Amino acid sequence: MRWSPRGRSPNLEDGRGSSAGMGGALPKMGIGGFIVLLLLSFIFKRDFFALVGGGAPAGAPAAQEAPVSASPEEEKLVEFVNYVLVDTEETWTQIFTASGQTYQPPKLFLFRDSVRSGCGFAEAAMGPFYCPADGRVYIDLAFYEELRSRFGANGDFAQAYVIAHEIGHHVQNLLGISDELRQAQEQNPGSANELSVRLELQADCFAGIWAHTTQKRDLLEAGDVEEALGAAAAVGDDRIQQQSSGSVHPESWTHGSSEQRMRWFRTGLESGDLKSCDTFAAQ
C-alpha cells in the first residue's frame, strides 16, 4: 500500500506504556469463551466478564497514555495504524455526508497483553475487537506478528484489513444495525450465532468499501488485494477450527467461513456501495 506518515489522529489512544485502568489478574479463557461472553454482554447489555474476573462498567475510560518503550519497527507500525485510521475517518465522513448523516469516528486504543474496555477485560490472545459500549477499537500490535506467523497472512494491506473490519463494526453501530441485531437476538436466541456471522460478514463488506476508495485513489500496489483476501481467509471460522481441533463445526461459527469472509470483502471492494453489503438479506 502506498502510504506516508500523517499527523496523529486525536482518536488514536496509546496505552502500551500504561497499566492504568487495569483490574486484577485476568481469567484464562480461549478465544471461543471470550466471544461467547462478548456476545452475551452485547445482547443483554450486562457485563458478563464481571462473572469471571471482575468487570469494568460499560463505557469505562481507557488507560491514560504513558511513555512507551518500543522498537523502531513497532513505532513504524504505529504510524501505519494511524495512517489507516485517519484514512478511514476521511472515507466514512465522506460517505456519511453524502447521505446527509454525520460520521462520529471511533477511538482506536493500542494496548499490550491485556486491557479493560467498556465491554470487560480482554487479553491480547483474543485478537483485535470493537466495543460498542465505549465506541473503541482495541488492538495489541503483537497480533500482526501472529497474523503473519500463525495464520500466514503477510503484508501491510492485510494489517489494514484488520483495522478496516473493526471500523466496520463502528459504522454498524452508528447506523443502528447493531441495535437491530441485538433486538433480533433477544427475540430469537436460537438465531444468535447466525446473526453474529451476518454481522461479521457485513463488517468485512464495509472494510471492502474502504478498500474500494483506496483503489480509486491509486493507493494500492500489486498484491495488496490478495493480502487482504488472505487475511480474511486466515481468520475464517472453519480454518481456525480446523487448525485448533482438526474438525469444523458450522453451527458454532460466529464470524463466517474463509470463503464467506473473502466473498463479502470482495463485494464491498468491487461495489463501493453500502447497499451491496446487506448480508442479512442474503441467502
pLDDT of 28 > 80? The answer is no
Going from N- to C-terminal start, the domains of the chain cover 12-277
Predicted local confidence at residue 85, as pLDDT: 98
Q: Which of 17-31, 131-145, 153-167, 255-269 has the lowest mean pLDDT?
A: 17-31
Nearest-CA neighbor of 167 among 115, 227, 96, 229? 96
Predicted local confidence at residue 23, as pLDDT: 39
Predicted local confidence at residue 4, as pLDDT: 96
Backbone angles phi, psi at 238, to 5 degrees: -65, -40
- Tens of pLDDT, residues 258-283: 999 999 999 999 999 999 999 999 98
Q: Which of 38-42, 136-140, 162-166, 194-198 has the lowest mean pLDDT?
A: 38-42
Q: Output the average pLDDT for the chain.
A: 86
User: Averaged over 102-122, what is the pLDDT?
Assistant: 94
pLDDT of 78 > 90? The answer is yes
- Enter the C-alpha cell of residue 236: 475464517
Map grid coordinates 493480502 to a residue. 227
| Strand positions, DSSP E, 92-157 | 107-110, 114-117, 120-123, 129-131, 136-139
Predicted local confidence at residue 256, as pLDDT: 92
* C-alpha torsion 41→46→50→56, nearest 10: 100
Predicted local confidence at residue 251, as pLDDT: 86
pLDDT band at 34 (very low <50, low <70, confident <90, very high): low
Query: Is 242 or 59 the better-scoring residue by pLDDT?
Result: 242
Predicted local confidence at residue 39, as pLDDT: 59
Contacts of residue 35, Cβ cutoff 8 Å, sequence gap at least 6: 126, 254
For the chain, helix (H) and strand (E) counts, in that order, are 10, 6
pLDDT of 67 > 70? The answer is yes
- How far apart CA 206 and CA 171 sit, in angstroms, is 8
Predicted local confidence at residue 126, as pLDDT: 85
Q: What's the one-letter identity of residue 100?
A: G
pLDDT band at 65 (very low <50, low <70, confident <90, very high): low
Contacts of residue 56, Cβ cutoff 8 Å, sequence gap at least 6: 21, 23, 47, 49, 116, 117, 118, 120, 121
- How far apart CA 155 and CA 234 sit, in angstroms, is 13
Q: Pairing relation of β-strands 114-117 and 120-123?
A: antiparallel
User: Averaged over 72-88, what is the pLDDT?
Assistant: 97
Share of the chain above pLDDT 90, in %: 67
- Tens of pLDDT, residues 116-132: 999 999 888 889 999 99
pLDDT of 48 > 80? The answer is no
- Tens of pLDDT, residues 169-211: 999 999 999 999 989 989 999 888 899 999 999 999 999 999 9
